[in-house]
Amino acid sequence: MKLHTRILFALANCSLSIAAGLWSLDSSCEKWSDQIKVGVHEALDLATNAWQVMEDHANEDQVKAMSKLLLTNRAGDNYESNFNAAKATFANLKAITREPGNFAARSDMRNTIFYCDDARFDKAYLGGPDWRETIRDFLVLEKNTATLKNCYDIGQKKTDLTKMTTKVPKHFDEAGWRAALQKDRTTKRAGFEAATDYSCSIDVCPWFIEKFAAQGFPKIDKDRIEWALELQNTGAELPPNTGALKNYPKRYFDFMKTFTSTVLHELTHTTQGGELVDYSQPLCYDWDCCVSIKQPTNSDTISILAMVLKMWTLGYYVDRDGDIYKLAES
Ligand SMILES: [Zn+2]
């Protein structure tokens, strides 16, 4: 084969391997494997639908209105770049292989393994407050250990429980970062992180999966929308937000959230999903916070955008206040 053909062939292979992230279920998820698979499939479908709507219907009134609510500052001057950033995230997510794959925990950061228990952690590591993950040989710092306890060992706490939690397996040069901090207090951690060949992980908290099992794992479909609309039309009481989120009231749209919307949220935290973050103070979840901060790099913003674009596909839209409306039939 001619040299330039060979190069093109190599490039084509390379771009294929960059595009696809694999996922798998750890044996700890056996009891829920069917449901998690359905959840991942629906999450990938939501990402695919969102990308397609943004590709084909970006100028439809309600698509534009909802995208602007979630992505654009008051002046509207960052609409295009934020819209494209969100669309790129959906492109990365829809590239994830649909069926579970076979790969080792030590393979590639673009891969993700779902876990459903805490058996892989050394919980008495050096007798300190930190856990150590034995499979990927990571120290889980105290703050993240608390998140895992809040997922698996929920006897200690009854509210604001962790639903799922994602770990990107970067190596962090803490000593180097601390030394740099001495010279410059504004030094960012990101400059001291390095890629590894471990997979990302998503811990699925048992209490959360059981909650949705009791509801029969509702999908983000017409039935779910009509159910939320019924709550809205009858003026059902919205649960108060507590803690740091108390300035962001719950909205009727928030009833739309499901097991799958959280799977999608977590997938945006993975390397394949672009390593998006939860904007903090408060952690920015749900409608009211996401339309306030308008950030395409906030995980819940992307999950919510996928949900409302699915609702648009089904003939509905959501306004600034998180109220749901049926689109007029023409
Ligand atoms: Zn998150």
* CATH code of the domain covering residue 27: 3.40.390.10
- Quote the Cα angle for 244-69-44, to 5°: 85
Which residues constitute the domain of residue 177?
Answer: 19-325
Is 130 within a domain? yes
Cα 323 to Cα 238: distance, rounded to the nearest angstrom: 12
Is 330 within a domain? no
Per-residue pLDDT of the chain (330 residues; tens, 9 = 90+): 444 544 444 444 444 444 589 999 999 999 999 999 999 999 999 999 999 999 999 999 999 999 999 999 878 889 999 999 999 999 999 999 999 998 988 889 999 999 999 999 998 888 878 889 888 778 888 888 888 988 997 666 666 789 999 999 888 888 898 999 999 999 888 888 899 999 999 999 999 999 999 999 999 999 999 999 999 999 999 988 777 777 889 999 999 999 999 999 999 999 999 999 999 867 899 999 999 999 999 999 999 999 999 999 999 999 999 999 999 865
Domains held by the chain: number: 1
- Ligand 1: centre distance to CA 305 (Å): 15
Neighbours of ion ligand 1 (CB under 5 A): 278, 299
pLDDT of residue 297: 96
Mark 149-180 as b/e (b = at least 16 C-beta within 10 Å): bbbbeeeeeeeeebbbbbbbbbeeeeeebeeb
Is 54 within a domain? yes
Is 230 within a domain? yes
Is 14 within a domain? no
Is 11 within a domain? no
pTM of the complete model? 0.90
- Ligand 1: centre distance to CA 265 (Å): 6
Is 258 within a domain? yes
Tokens of 197: 């060949």
- Ligand 1: centre distance to CA 278 (Å): 5
- Ligand 1: centre distance to CA 2 (Å): 48
- Ligand 1: centre distance to CA 13 (Å): 32
Contact yes or no for 148/121 (Cβ under 8 A): yes
- Ligand 1: centre distance to CA 63 (Å): 25
Is 160 within a domain? yes
